């Protein structure tokens, strides 16, 4: 056995060198963080669930012709992805006011926005990921105007897909965050959806009860995060009974 080369370690995921040139292995950890890392806990099984939920969503996006970095899932916690040049933006798409937009603009949480709104945040932990405009992005060269068009169009397509997917299982998609990267193939470059899409990066509310089914459960101490994510996975039809048992850890057998 030889040790794999670690390329990058983030708060919730680690990237390792992949088996072939141009690929990486994305490993989902159990770490839950919020408020720019100030709140941190280990939630047993979260990595397994996010790996499966993100696999499910990215596979469907690939099938629909929305380009992503995802190739295939390798095991419980890891997936094979295409190596991309990460664009240092968090692209947030919002349908309903919640979180930072509610605070910033004094909107009542739960208010439907006049239309879906795309926001950009500059990815920089030291600066606390500040909100930026398209002007900043093109002026500082983080993305070209053409790339920005592609990024916005990916945001809209992912929003359309996720809204329908979650509505079908009784969940309202309030907002979500994606990250994008440049994928190079020979002389060609295209912008693809990278990172992950999971309850860590979306706001999801139960349509009937308004119960929160996402990382706000951790941010606001609303209950068991793992039970919440398992509920989302089960509604999407991802987990079988047996697999469900695998994510719950050891149980006392009487």
91 vs 148, beta carbon nearer ligand UDP: 91
In the shown chain, the binding pattern of residues 54 to 93 toward ligand UDP, with x for contact by CB under 6 A and - for none, equals: ------------------------------------x-x-
Q: Is 96 in the site for ligand UDP (CB under 6 A)?
A: no
As measured in angstroms, the least distance from the Cβ of 238 to ligand UDP is 20
Q: Is 201 in the site for ligand UDP (CB under 6 A)?
A: yes
As measured in angstroms, the least distance from the Cβ of 103 to ligand UDP is 8
Select the residue interacting with ligand UDP from 23, 100, 138, 244 (CB under 6 A): 100
As measured in angstroms, the least distance from the Cβ of 13 to ligand UDP is 12
Task: Judge whether 114 and 107 are in contact, CB under 8 Å.
Answer: no
Give DSSP secondary structure letters for the chain.
--PPPEEEE-SSEEEEE-SSTTEEEEEE-SEEEETTTTEEEE-TTHHHHHHHHHHHHHHHHHHTT--BSEEEE-SSSEEEEE--EE-SEEEEEEEE--HHHHHHHTPPTTPEEEEEEEEEEE--GGGT--EE-HHHHHHTTSS-HHHHHHHHHHHHHHHHHHHHHHHTTTEEEEEEEEEEEEEEETTEEEEEEES--STTTEEEEETTT--B-STHHHHTT-S-HHHHHHHHHHHTT---HHHHHHHS------
**Piece of 14-22, 80-88, 98-106, 229-237 that binds ligand UDP (CB under 6 A):** 98-106
Question: Whole-angstrom Cα distance, residue 173 to residue 46?
Answer: 20
Task: Judge whether 163 and 95 are in contact, CB under 8 Å.
Answer: yes
Residues 6+ apart with CB under 8 A from 163: 95, 173
Select the residue interacting with ligand UDP from 96, 171, 202, 232 (CB under 6 A): 202
As measured in angstroms, the least distance from the Cβ of 174 to ligand UDP is 7
Select the residue interacting with ligand UDP from 27, 46, 82, 177 (CB under 6 A): 177
Q: Is 175 in the site for ligand UDP (CB under 6 A)?
A: yes
**Piece of 67-75, 163-171, 197-205, 241-249 that binds ligand UDP (CB under 6 A):** 197-205
- Give the binding-site size for ligand UDP (rule: CB under 6 A): 13
In the shown chain, the binding pattern of residues 127 to 156 toward ligand UDP, with x for contact by CB under 6 A and - for none, equals: --x---------------------------
**Piece of 13-21, 44-52, 148-156, 198-206 that binds ligand UDP (CB under 6 A):** 198-206
Note the residues at the interface with ligand UDP (CB under 6 A).
90, 92, 99-101, 129, 175-177, 201-203, 215
């Amino acid at each position: 056995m030889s040790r794999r080369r670690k390329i990058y370690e983030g708060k919730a995921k680690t990237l390792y060198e992949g088996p072939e040139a141009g690929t990486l292995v994305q490993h989902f950890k159990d770490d839950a963080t919020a408020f720019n890392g100030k709140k941190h806990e280990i939630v047993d099984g979260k990595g397994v669930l996010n790996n499966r939920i993100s696999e499910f969503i990215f596979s469907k996006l690939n099938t629909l012709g929305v380009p992503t970095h995802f190739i295939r899932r390798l095991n419980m916690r890891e997936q094979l992805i295409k190596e991309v040049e990460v664009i240092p933006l968090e692209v947030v798409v919002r349908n309903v006011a919640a979180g930072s937009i509610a605070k910033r603009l004094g909107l009542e949480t739960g208010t439907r926005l006049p239309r879906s709104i795309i926001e950009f945040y500059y990815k920089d932990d030291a600066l606390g990921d500040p909100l930026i405009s398209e002007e900043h992005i093109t002026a500082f060269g983080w993305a070209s105007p053409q790339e920005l068009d592609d990024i916005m169009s990916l945001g809209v397509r992912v929003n359309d897909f996720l809204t329908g997917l979650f509505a079908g299982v009784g969940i309202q998609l309030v907002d979500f965050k994606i990250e994008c990267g440049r994928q190079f193939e020979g002389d060609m470059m295209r912008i693809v959806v990278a990172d992950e899409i999971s309850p860590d990066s979306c706001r999801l509310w139960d349509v009937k009860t308004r119960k929160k089914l996402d990382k706000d459960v951790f941010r606001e101490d609303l209950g068991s995060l793992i039970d919440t994510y398992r509920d989302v996975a089960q509604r999407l039809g991802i987990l079988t009974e047996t697999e469900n048992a695998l994510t719950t850890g050891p149980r006392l057998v009487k």
